[in-house]
Amino acid sequence: MADLARQSQALGARPALVLIDMINAFTDEHGPLGSPSDAVVDACGQLQRAFRRKGLPVCFTSVVYDQSNQAKVFRARLPALNILKSGSAAVDVDKRLRPVDGEPVFEKHYASAFFGTGLLAWLKSQNADSLVIVGLTTSGCVRASVVDGLQHGYVVWVPEEAVGDRNAAAHAANLHDMHAKYAEVVSLSDTLAAVGDAL
């Protein structure tokens, strides 16, 4: 069955960059949750610098557990998540993308950056009118955050070079599905050009 007809949607005048789970546990390809992601880190860094130059909002998420009863069904299903302990290096943002003052890191227990966090309130406080969502992983936390971004009324862009996944087939399928229904899946260069025009 063919995809539904869709309309392209432009970024607004004040987009926010949301970096999903660009933490050591996911960017270290040798860890149980990691995958080769140097190219994704590089693309995220380019976007981060562009947003900062324009004075646009930038924020991060990290998955953090400090109590045994947090997300217990999720963690029972995926035991590797148990390395994401509060205070450990695993949950720190990769040093190549370190936040600067004014860039919050929202701690979450589940896939979506919006679920149980202060992200939505922060976006409103920043007068963000659209989102660029990047990070790891395409089929999990990125997709969940993209869907919730749309459900909260934001146009969402996903630069394909700035997201990654452990599974290449899942990565491709989820990019296709997000573009068909929930977001603009675009090139890094097109996103950088659009951000350059913002404000």
**Nearest-angstrom CA–CA distance, 146 and 178:** 8
Nearest to 132 by CA among 114, 149, 120, 115: 149
Phi, psi of 23 (to 5 degrees): -110, 165
Q: What share of the chain is helix, strand, coil (3-state, %, to 5)?
A: 45, 20, 40
Kindly list the catalytic residues: 141
Contact 21, 28 (CB under 8 A): no
Question: What would the two tokens of residue 15 be?
Answer: 């987009």
